[in-house]
Amino acid sequence: MRPSHCVLPKAFAFAVLAGLLAAGLAFAQSYDPALRSLDLGSDVPRSPRLLGMGSLSISVPDRHQSFSLWDFAGSPVGVYGEDSSSTVELRPGSGSASGAHNGASGLEREDLAGRASRMGFELFHRDAEGSAWGATGQVRSLRADQLYDMDTEMRRTISEPEIDPIITGPFPYWHKDKLRYAVRLQLAHEHLLDDHLGNVSNAAGEFISLDGPMLRAPELFEPTESTVRRTSLGAALSYPAGDHATLALGYDAVGDRIAGRNDGIKSLSQVNESRPIGIAQATLVGKLGKSFEYGLDEKHWNSSSHQKWYFSISGGVGAIPLIGQGELLERAETGNAFNGSFRWTTGNLRLAGQYWTLMSRAVYTPQSAVDRSSFNVFLSNIYYRVGADTLALPDSVIANQSQSNAFGYVGGVSWKLERGTVGLEYHWGRETQTETITGVGPKAIAYDVRAGLEHQFSAIVAGRVGGGMLWRDQDQLTRNNNWRGESSSLGLGLTPPAATWGLDIGWTMTWLQTDYQDPLVHRSSHQQLQALLHWTY
C-alpha cells in the first residue's frame, strides 16, 4: 500500500528525466494516484452501507460487494445477473483532506489540503430474454495542494468525465442457454493542470489552501498541463463451470492519447504519446455447497509506446530561437494483479478472507545517440551554441526500470444479530518500489483493524456505525516516517418496503499523527461522504 502522503518538501531542481518520465507514467493515470495521495481511496467504492460500517469489505454480505462477476471483478458479462429488473443508480460522493505541522515560529504550517467530488451512475435495462444494455460512468474532479519547497506549493487540479456503454446477452446460435457475451466501450477525457503558488502567511500561520501569488513553473521541460483521451473496446464471455460456478474471460484494447505541455513566458515544451494497452482478465466465482462463496480474479496487461518531444525558447530580440523536436524515449510496461476471496457461513457466523497481489514494471529506453532527433543529441548541441551558457540545462535521458511489488491479505468475521449485523476485520499490505537508478525503496507497510455495526430500527430505517485503528510505515528502510491513526464512521439506510427506490449514505473520518518523536507534530485528517440512490423499474 502506498503511503498516505509525504510532508517533506520536494527538491527544487528536478532533472528532466524525473519530470518527463513521471509525466509519461503518471499523467496517463493521474486521478487515482492523486486520490490516494490525499488518503481518499476506499476499499468499498460501490457501497456506502459498508463505508458507514467502518469500511468492512468482505465479512458482511452486501448487494454491491458480492461474489458476482460484476461486483467482484468488474466484468461486463455479469451485468445481467446483478438484478432481476431494470435499474438506475446514482452515486454522488465527496472527500476532503488537510494536514499541518508546527512551524519554526510556533505557528501552524499547512502542508496538505485537498478535496474531491464525484457523480457516478449505472443505468441498465434488462429484458425477459436474458439480455441487458445500458451504461456506467462518472464525472469527477479533484484539487490537491502540497508543498513543493519551503516557500512554494504545487496545486494540482484534475477533471475527468467517463462513460462506458455495455451490451450483454446470451451468445447467439451456439450454447446460447449457457454461454454469454458482453461488449464494452469506454470513452474518457482527463485534464490535469499543475500551478505553482507562493504560500500565504498571516497571524494564524502559513497556508497553502489559500490563493497565494502565482509563480513560474520551476522546470521548463516538465509538463504543467496534460490531457489524456481514452478510447477502449472490450469483450467478455462467461460459461458455467459446474452447477454453482461461472468462468469469465475478457480482453480490453485500450488506446490512450497523451499530450503534455509547459507554456513559459518565452518557451514552449511538449511531450506527446500514443499508448496502446492490452488487458486480459480471467475470473471464477461460485459456491461450494450452500455456505461457501468464493471469487478468483487475475488480470494481465502490457503496453509499448514512444514518447515524442518538442521544445522552443526565444533567444532574445533579433536572435535565432532555440528549437528542437524528435523521439524522447521508448516505454514498455507489463503488470499483473490477483484477487482471491472467500466467505463461509454457518448459522449466524460468517468467516471471510482475502489475498491479493499487484506487480507493475516499466522500462524506459532513451532514443539512440545516432538519431539526431533524440533529446540527448539536442542537449549536446546546446553546449556548442553561442550565448547558451546561461540556459538552465536538464540532465540527459538515461535508461531506467521501475518496478512495484505489492501484496496483502484480509481476515474478517461477522455475526448476524436479530435486527442487524456486527463485523470485525484485519487488513495488512506491503509495497516495495525498485528502480535501476535509485535502487530499492521505499518499502511501505500498512495494517489496520476495523469494526462495524448495523441495526435495523424498523422495516424502513437502518443505522450504521463503525471505527478502526491503523498503523503505517512509509519506508521501512528509513527512520521517522511511521504514522498511526483512528477512524470513525456513520451510515443511514432507507428502504421503504412498497417503494421501488432505496437510499444509502455513508460517512467516514480518519485522523493521522506521527508515531515517533516528532518536534514538529505533523498531523492530518481525511473524510469521505458517499451516497447511493437505487431505483428499479
For residue range 27-41, what is the model confidence (pLDDT) as tens digits? 346 888 889 889 898
CA distances from 470 to 35, 125, 513 (A): 19, 42, 11
Amino acid 447: pLDDT: 96
Residue 59: HSE in the Cβ half-sphere, 13 Å Cα cutoff: 29
Grid cell, residue 234, equals: 472490450
Q: Please state, for a pLDDT cut of 90, what percent of the chain lies above it.
A: 74
Amino acid 514: pLDDT: 95
Q: Which residue has the cell 432507507?
A: 494
* Contact by Cβ (8 Å): 38, 114: yes
Amino acid 14: pLDDT: 26
- DSSP category for residue 107: S
Please choose, from the candidates 93, 16, 502, the residue with its C-alpha nearest in 3D space to the C-alpha of residue 269.
16
Q: How far apart are CA 462 and CA 502, in angstroms?
A: 11
Q: How far apart are CA 106 and CA 192, in angstroms?
A: 35
- pTM of the full predicted structure? 0.89
Grid cell, residue 482, equals: 511511521
Residue 220 lies in a domain: yes
Q: What are phi and psi of 49, to 5 degrees?
A: -60, -50
Residue 436 has pLDDT above 50, yes or no: yes
* Contact by Cβ (8 Å): 469, 486: yes
* Contact by Cβ (8 Å): 67, 285: yes
Q: Please state, for a pLDDT cut of 70, what percent of the chain lies above it.
A: 92
Q: How far apart are CA 278 and CA 334, in angstroms?
A: 10
- The amino acid that residue 165 corresponds to is P
Residue 1 lies in a domain: no
- DSSP category for residue 433: E
Residue 24 has pLDDT above 60, yes or no: no
Q: How far apart are CA 297 and CA 251, in angstroms?
A: 13
Residue 29 lies in a domain: yes
Task: Categorize the per-residue pLDDT at 10 as very low, low, confident or very high, splitting at 50, 70 and 90.
Answer: very low
* Contact by Cβ (8 Å): 68, 78: yes
Q: How far apart are CA 150 and CA 326, in angstroms?
A: 36
Mean pLDDT of 139-157: 93
* Contact by Cβ (8 Å): 30, 192: yes
Residue 88 lies in a domain: yes
Please choose, from the candidates 42, 41, 40, the residue with its C-alpha nearest in 3D space to the C-alpha of residue 113.
40
Residue 4 lies in a domain: no
Q: What is the CATH classification number for the domain harbouring 277?
A: 2.40.170
Burial class (CB in 10 A: 0-12, 13-18, 19+), 321: exposed
Task: Categorize the per-residue pLDDT at 23 as very low, low, confident or very high, splitting at 50, 70 and 90.
Answer: very low
Q: How far apart are CA 417 and CA 412, in angstroms?
A: 16
Q: 203-212, 265-274, 306-315: which has the minimum mean pLDDT?
A: 306-315
Question: Greatest CA separation found in the chain?
Answer: 86
Cis peptide before 442 (omega within 30 of 0): yes
Task: Categorize the per-residue pLDDT at 357 as very low, low, confident or very high, splitting at 50, 70 and 90.
Answer: very high
Q: Which residue has the cell 446483478?
A: 82
Task: Categorize the per-residue pLDDT at 9 as very low, low, confident or very high, splitting at 50, 70 and 90.
Answer: very low
* Contact by Cβ (8 Å): 233, 252: yes
24: part of which helix (H) or strand (E)? helix 16-26
Amino acid 392: pLDDT: 53
Residue 85 has pLDDT above 60, yes or no: yes
Q: 93-102, 320-329, 439-448, 519-528: which has the minimum mean pLDDT?
A: 320-329
Mean pLDDT of 294-308: 96
Please choose, from the candidates 352, 355, 307, the residue with its C-alpha nearest in 3D space to the C-alpha of residue 332.
307
**Beta strand segments in 264-399, E:** 267-288, 292-313, 322-346, 349-366
Q: Which domain, by its residues, includes 483?
A: 16-536
Burial class (CB in 10 A: 0-12, 13-18, 19+), 347: exposed
Residue 118 lies in a domain: yes
Residue 8 lies in a domain: no
Dihedral angle sign, alpha carbons of residues 310, 313, 315, 318: positive
Per DSSP, helices labelled H in 38-135 are 48-52, 69-73
Residue 26 has pLDDT above 80, yes or no: no
- Residues contacting residue 439 through CB under 8 Å, at least 6 positions apart: none
Residue 25 has pLDDT above 70, yes or no: no
The total domain count for the chain is: 1
Residue 119 lies in a domain: yes
Q: Is 80 helix (H, G, I), strand (E, B) or coil?
A: helix
pLDDT in tens, 376-403: 888 777 766 655 544 555 667 888 999 9
pLDDT in tens, 171-206: 988 887 899 999 999 999 999 999 999 999 998 899
Q: Which residue has the cell 468492512?
A: 56
Grid cell, residue 267, equals: 518557451
Residue 151: HSE in the Cβ half-sphere, 13 Å Cα cutoff: 5
Amino acid 106: pLDDT: 80
Q: Is 15 helix (H, G, I), strand (E, B) or coil?
A: coil
Please choose, from the candidates 411, 410, 429, 355, the residue with its C-alpha nearest in 3D space to the C-alpha of residue 4.
429
Q: How far apart are CA 495 and CA 536, in angstroms?
A: 12
For the chain, what is the mean pLDDT? 89
pLDDT in tens, 209-259: 999 999 988 888 889 999 999 999 999 999 999 889 999 999 999 999 999
Burial class (CB in 10 A: 0-12, 13-18, 19+), 446: buried
